[in-house]
Amino acid sequence: MIELYIAIFLLSAFSVWLWIKANRKIVGIDINKLSQPKITESTGIALLIPLWTAIAYFEIISFSIDWIAFGLLVTGFTIIGFLDDTKHKWSTSSTPWMSRAMPIAVICLVFAGIYSQNWLWIIPIALFIAGLASFQNTFAGLNGWQGGSGLIIAVAVSFLLAGTAFQAFALALAAIILGFLAWNKFPARVFEGDSGTLLIGSCIAGLLVMNGKIELMLLALLFYIPHIVDFLFLKILTNRSDPSQQRIRPYRLLKDSRLAIPEYPDKKTRFDFAKLIIRIFGPLKEWQIVAVIWIVVAANALIWLFAFGFLRF
């Protein structure tokens, strides 16, 4: 299988390169750099190429329609994320919350209905899919933050799915993310956008749902404790009116390129996970903050893998 993972990694990196070359309109400014470079955005849409290549491979060797259903789930999330990424290109107003939530709800309910062994589990499993995708989507903001975190969790989930075809696909997902991360690590040349984070989150959730073991789904939720802390206990509690941090720049860029906590007009700090790290360690370079986040995510995953006896050498 190593040849498959290498091929998927190379295809992912190549697909991102093609997106960089082809995309001239969907770009943004990296506000956390002194040079303020323009960066290609919404790169998650390009990751559908290696994703469907991997799906085609697993479909051929297993002859299971499940992989097509899985691909449609992830593609649906990715397209919704892409439309949200690019809404400013054709609309001057933001997309209503319900316009985004309803398609996601329908996709999750349909997929949960297919793979729930008991109808009582349909809504909880649908919420699980939407929740993982959402937590992956909100744990973002700096070069490599989302991609690196997704890579770590994809590898951790592969241990949960050991001995199954789903484990092999979790590692293929890791290869896809790694190909993207080659372009997204500091200093980034691309951003994944909602299309990328929703692709990663829905992919991880979909594999766990198809595996069918509720206890593994619950364990996977524990891998997302840093994400949950970031969204529910930092952003929502300290910045309920603007959890996406669009009204005020989330970080203050110092002359030596370190990032610091902004000086808010009301003197009350709006936290996210990165600003919590800055509060603990003081101003840091962007890559240093992301390195700390990766360490926290990896340590959290290892703790739960050890605690439940899933890590085997």
DSSP sequence for 42-56: -GGGGGHHHHHHHHH
Look at residue 311 and tell me whether its pLDDT is greater than 60: no
Residue 238 lies inside a defined structural domain of this protein: no
- Whose tokens are 């990296």? That residue is 30
Neighbours of 241 (CB within 10 A): 6
Residue 308 lies inside a defined structural domain of this protein: no
Look at residue 34 and tell me whether its pLDDT is greater than 60: yes
Look at residue 94 and tell me whether its pLDDT is greater than 90: no
Look at residue 96 and tell me whether its pLDDT is greater than 70: no
Identify the pLDDT of residue 98: 63
More confidently predicted of 40 and 267: 40
Residue 300 lies inside a defined structural domain of this protein: no
Q: What is the mean pLDDT of residues 83-103?
A: 66
Q: For the chain, what is the mean pLDDT? A: 91
Q: What is the mean pLDDT of residues 270-297?
A: 97
Residues 6+ apart with CB under 8 A from 110: none
Residue 123: CA count within 13 A, CB half-sphere: 1
Identify the pLDDT of residue 59: 92
What would the pLDDT profile of 188-197 be if each residue is shown by its tens digit?
999 999 999 9
Residue 267 lies inside a defined structural domain of this protein: no
Q: What is the mean pLDDT of residues 203-214?
A: 95
Percent of the chain surpassing pLDDT 90: 78
Identify the pLDDT of residue 149: 97
CB 81 within 8 A of CB 44: yes
CB 192 within 8 A of CB 44: yes
Task: Return d(Cα 155, Cα 132) in angstroms, integer.
Answer: 15
Look at residue 36 and tell me whether its pLDDT is greater than 60: yes
Q: What is the mean pLDDT of residues 71-93?
A: 81
Q: What is the mean pLDDT of residues 128-133?
A: 95
CB 258 within 8 A of CB 284: yes
What would the pLDDT profile of 253-283 be if each residue is shown by its tens digit?
999 999 999 988 888 889 999 999 999 999 9
Residue 260 lies inside a defined structural domain of this protein: no
Token reading at 150? 């997704």
Identify the pLDDT of residue 92: 46
Would you place residue 97 in the very low, low, confident or very high pLDDT band (cuts 50, 70, 90)? low
Residue 295 lies inside a defined structural domain of this protein: no
Identify the pLDDT of residue 10: 98
Task: Return d(Cα 40, Cα 200) in angstroms, integer.
Answer: 19
- Taking alpha carbons only, the member of 128, 155, 141 closest to residue 289 is 141
Task: Return d(Cα 81, Cα 111) in angstroms, integer.
Answer: 18
Residue 40 bridge partners (DSSP): 27, 190
Task: Return d(Cα 253, Cα 262) in angstroms, integer.
Answer: 9
Residue 279 lies inside a defined structural domain of this protein: no
Look at residue 313 and tell me whether its pLDDT is greater than 50: no
Q: Domain range for residue 47?
A: 2-222
Q: What is the mean pLDDT of residues 286-302?
A: 97
Model pTM score? 0.93
Identify the pLDDT of residue 265: 86
More confidently predicted of 58 and 245: 58
Residue 12 lies inside a defined structural domain of this protein: yes
Look at the chain and report how many structural domains it folds into.
1
Percent of the chain surpassing pLDDT 70: 95
